[in-house]
Amino acid sequence: MKMLKGIQYAHARIPIKWKLTLWAAVLLFFFFAAYNVTQYMLMSRWIVNQEKMDMEQEMREILDYFLENERLLEENELFQVRNYLYRVNKSNQLIRLFDGENRRLLIVSNDIPESWTDGLNVPTTGVTALSQGGHSLMVLRSPLHMAGFKGTIEIARSREEYRQLQVRLIHVMVAFAASAAVLSILGGQALARQLLRPLQALTATIKNIRQRGLQERMPPGSNTDELSTLGSLFNSMMDEVERAFQQQSQFVQDAAHELWTPVTIIEGHLALLDRWGKENPAVLEESLQASLQELLRLKGLVQELLALMNAECGELEEMGRVADPAGMIRQIIRNMLLLYPAFRFQMRVEELSGISLDISVQHLEQILLIILDNAVKYSEDARIVEISGVVNASGEAHIRIRDYGTGIPAEDLPYVMDRFFRVDKVRRRGQGGNGLGLSIAKRLAERHNGSIAISSKEGEGTAVTIILPALASGK
């Protein structure tokens, strides 16, 4: 058990590069070895079969010779048979003829002693393998039946050449195995290097990010495999991280700036009071009113920052759905008329009857109030605000709020929902805005699988469309 744990511990400490190299080398060597062994077995079998076929062909020729010359055995003219067998016999081979009683009638041999094999009559043709004194033989026996004669023809061939060929094949296989081992290691290293190249690039990129900053990226991959996809996803993730970091930095700067302004004003008035305003009622009253106004603005800014944080990061509690969006919009407009009696609010929200919206009443009300408040602030002399609602074929409710006020310049339109963005910061601060309202509305809509679209033309007004998932009433 301790040995097994030691092996596991040692294996865990090996770098992944060498693990891949080792396993790739083992697999490649295994395939090389399996191929060589299979090739050796097939070659050996093929050589044995060729030997058998050659001996069988030779046996057929000898049998045909006897069948064509039956009289040679009848007349006992074996010298002609011996001459024939000498001609057809091959090196390292023995040919013998036996009668029916296993008496040898003749023998022809090329370097094969007769003692290496015993004569034996057989009823059918067959091949056997013999080993005598360290020598291997292949023996083919076939019965010979002619008129007045029954016997056996035997061909015994040495397998020394075959064994020598086997030895040479083994030597070649060992050489190939050694080459295969070297090639396996080199191939394993090349494969490991190829597989680890994207991971090494990822590691280098992470180190560069730590040293140089979030702008570092992995080099683009040359193919579309999983590791290249990982690199692309990493770059996309880093784009998001960098964007979020930049937004966070900008947010902190903007928040600090927005908080600094009222704090500086309050500090200035308090310093004024400290120097000579204590005894001057007019200065005291002016400073107190200005400080209270800035405190209220500071309080509103903090509340908006908290609302934005909740819109972005807070948990969405189950707060129900808006069951009657048309009635809710009418009620909000009635409340707006109490605050802004000089404005005319034109509503066409009948299509929103009979549906429910997958958003809480509180969040939809907050979104509507933010957009309606902006429409009123920036309408100036054109005191008309239109509110309409439709449901499209995709099952989305579109609530559109249109004003005819100052509008938004085209170059500023992409940024109006960024935090703390104001088209005209000096003038808009005088109207009480902090540049967070649309950011809060956008985050709330997105958290309920919706969105907000803005179209505007400078001098002609702005249209803001709230897009939310709609459900049939009762679902």
Domain of residue 400, CATH code: 3.30.565.10
Tokens matching residue 171: 């030597």
Determine the Cα angle at 426 with ends 242 and 282, to 5°. Answer: 130
Distance CA 234, CA 6 (A): 36
One domain for residues 295 and 351: no
Give me the number of domains the chain comprises. Answer: 3
- Domain annotation covers residue 48: yes
One domain for residues 305 and 327: no
- Domain annotation covers residue 296: yes
Enclosing domain of residue 129: 13-166
166, 182, 197: which is the final residue of a domain? 166
Query: Which pLDDT tens digits describe the chain residue by residue (475 residues)?
Result: 555 555 555 555 666 666 667 777 777 777 777 887 888 788 888 888 888 899 889 999 988 888 888 776 665 677 888 888 888 888 888 999 888 888 888 889 888 888 777 777 778 888 888 877 677 888 889 998 877 778 899 988 888 777 777 788 788 878 877 787 777 777 777 777 777 777 778 788 888 888 888 788 878 766 666 777 777 888 888 888 887 777 677 667 666 766 776 777 777 777 777 776 666 777 777 777 777 777 776 776 677 667 666 666 655 555 568 888 999 999 999 988 888 889 999 999 998 888 899 888 888 888 998 899 889 988 878 889 999 999 988 889 999 999 998 888 988 888 888 777 766 543 444 455 567 788 888 888 888 889 999 999 988 899 999 999 988 765 5
138, 166, 194: which is the final residue of a domain? 166
Burial-class residue 390 by CB neighbours within 10 Å (0-12, 13-18, 19+): middle
One domain for residues 59 and 137: yes
One domain for residues 402 and 283: no
286, 310, 334: which is the final residue of a domain? 310
Distance CA 59, CA 142 (A): 8
